[in-house]
Structure 1
Amino acid sequence: MKDGGKALKWGLIAVILAMCTLSLCNLYTLMLFGNITGSFTYPVIQAARFISIADFLEHLESVVVVIWVAGVYLKIAIFYYVLAIGMAHWLGLDDYRPIVFPIGVLLLAFTLWSGPSMQDLVGFISKATPFYSCTVHVLIPALLVLVGSIRKKAPGDPPRPDPQPVQPN
């Protein structure tokens, strides 16, 4: 990044907007359903069924699903790209394209393996998520920061070339 201050500013704005949007959705759903909110699998979609604007715009849950799927697709695409670039850098490769397909195959295999059914996914979320989240969201990033700070202090560490993304023609 050329301008770290600008990236930090826009990163914070994005996080604050996402936090406000999620908080408003949760508040809207909680105020609509009350104590039974926890019994729904997808309460925001259930809440979207109640939207009726001038008896003309109704059944907007499909719009909610489209926004949700588009957001998940974008998130997966960004994580996939970052994983490919990061792994290519970690392995010291000049180009990230040779590892894109193997990473995709592994992602597909792990996706099918980790959540073959809704019951298995709910079981995983209810039992393993606290440990999984602590590991993935706290321990691994802290370990990466620690290793990065140690490597910056180590003398004689050869610089690795950054893999360059392919420019479209």
Structure 2
Amino acid sequence: MKGSEKSAAYSCTSDVSSLFFLLLIGAAIINIPGPLIGYAGNGAWLSILLSAVTGFIFVASLLYLYRKFPHLSFVEYSNKLVGKPLTILFMLPFITLNLYHLSGNALDISLFMTATMMRETPLYVFVLLTLSIVALTARLGITVFARTSTVLNLTVFGVVLLVLALASEQYQWEHFFPVMPDGIKPVLLGASFSYSFPYADIVLFSMLLPFVDKREYGKLKKGMYLSLLLGTFLLGGITLSTILVFGPIAGERIYSLFEIARTIHLYEIITGVEILIGYSLIAGAFLLDVIILYILSLVIGQLFGIKDEQIIVFPLALIGFLFSMAIISEGVAKWNEFVLVTDILLVTIVNLPLFILTAVAAWRRQIE
């Protein structure tokens, strides 16, 4: 990372916390509720609460390592604790998985556009356009998109709360029961899905913590835990609202929040609210892709000694585009299978180094 940019970004604790909130909800509010309800049924909101526990464990581990190495990123303190060969071994699955996530988020935006608004436009047009703008934004640096995220989060949070409130007339509370008709197993299955996305992505944020002044640790800690609570509340609220509005067919709603917004027709005056949701979904997923691309450039730059990480932003975006084309050629069903099954295993492998480094750091502290 460039020293000048790092200095400029120091003390922007609220902006960094805002980025963390966006990391949690950016694409999750598009992708989580429908499939999660398909897994867990009426107990889907319980699955979110269970998986949120892992989120708090991830945050606690990140903050512990940040407190010990406030000026170092995940790659840098991994080099210090276990050496470069092991660090490379740790980061190769991380890079691969997040290239898939980069292309997957762009694909999600494109699928949303072609499924709901512009059905005749080829999918690759949206993917190419999305990743091009993502790359241009990532090159501007963290200071720019972190400040943008604060405004975006306020907008998204406000719009989602407004939609959930306006849709309350559609709620049928009899759909809430029974909460666990098939026992605890579907809830645990749903929890494993929501653990893999978005909570397992928290490890990404380890690359951005060095941008916060170590004197701001207290504010950072409060901001991250508050963001985690609000993100969990928002995901749980959307999931519960989907159940209350659609009942037995809730698990079939692919873009559930958008579908909820389409049910709102108050006095023939308040209509077309889904436009606001469409904006929120696209903007959130877009900025999440910016964060992923920026972090990937930092990881690869620090791992292989590239002094100016900006030079690899566009090549990474191109790789993301090629990944998206490969996913499209396999079919959307294949991508859904990857997200719902393979991704759970891969994110677990990617997150193991966080706990290994936490244990090594704690052990070294004891022997010192």
TM-score (structure 2 length as normaliser)? 0.37
Match status 1:61 vs 2:61: no
Partner deviation per Cα, 1:119-142 (whole Å, 9 max, x = no partner) = x33343246633322312x21121
**1:142-169 per-position Cα deviation (integer Å, ceiling 9, x unaligned):** 1355368769x99xxxxxxxxxxxxxxx
Distance 1:139-1:50 versus aligned 2 partners, 3 A rule? same
The separation in 1 between residues aligned to 2:355 and 2:312, in whole angstroms, is 24
Once the two structures are TM-superposed, the CA of residue 55 in structure 1 deviates from its matched residue by 2.8
Q: What is the deviation of 1:80?
A: 0.7
**Which of 321, 324, 335 matches 1:111?**
324
Residues in 1 aligned to 2:232 and 2:295: alpha-carbon distance in whole angstroms: 23
Measure the CA separation in 1 of the matches of 2:299 and 2:338.
30
- CA-to-partner distance for each residue in 1:41-94, whole Å, 9 max, x for gaps? 222222111113443111211111110000000100011111111211111121
Structure 1 Cα separation of the partners of residues 345 and 261 of structure 2: 32
CA root-mean-square deviation = 2.6
The answer (yes or no) to whether the contact 2:261–2:274 under 8 Å persists in 1 is yes
The CA distance in 1 between the partners of 2:252 and 2:300, in whole Å, is 40
2:354 matches 1:141: no
Residue 14 (structure 1) shift:
1.3
**Bigger radius of gyration, 1 or 2?**
1
Q: Residues of 1 paired with 2:338 and 2:265: CA distance?
A: 38
State the secondary structure of the residue aligned to 1:87.
Answer: helix
Percent of aligned positions that are identical: 21
Matches within 5 A, 1:45-56: 45-56=258-269
**1:15 maps to amino acid:** L
Q: Aligned partners of 1:149 and 1:127: how far apart in 2?
A: 31
Mapped to 2, the partners of 1:12 and 1:108 lie a distance apart of 34
4+ residue segments displaced more than 4 Å: 147-151
CA distance in 2, matches of 1:116, 1:60: 34
Task: Note if 1:121 corresponds to 2:332.
Answer: yes
Residue 17 to residue 147, structure 1, CA distance change in 2 (3 Å): closer
Partner of 1:130: 341
Assess, with a 3 A threshold, how the Cα gap between structure 1 residues 115 and 10 changes in structure 2: closer, same or farther.
farther
Structure 1 portions without partners, runs of 5+: 155-169
Is the partner of 1:57 in helix, strand or coil? coil
Number of positions where the alignment pairs a residue of Structure 1 with one of Structure 2: 151
Gaps of 5+ in 2: 1-211
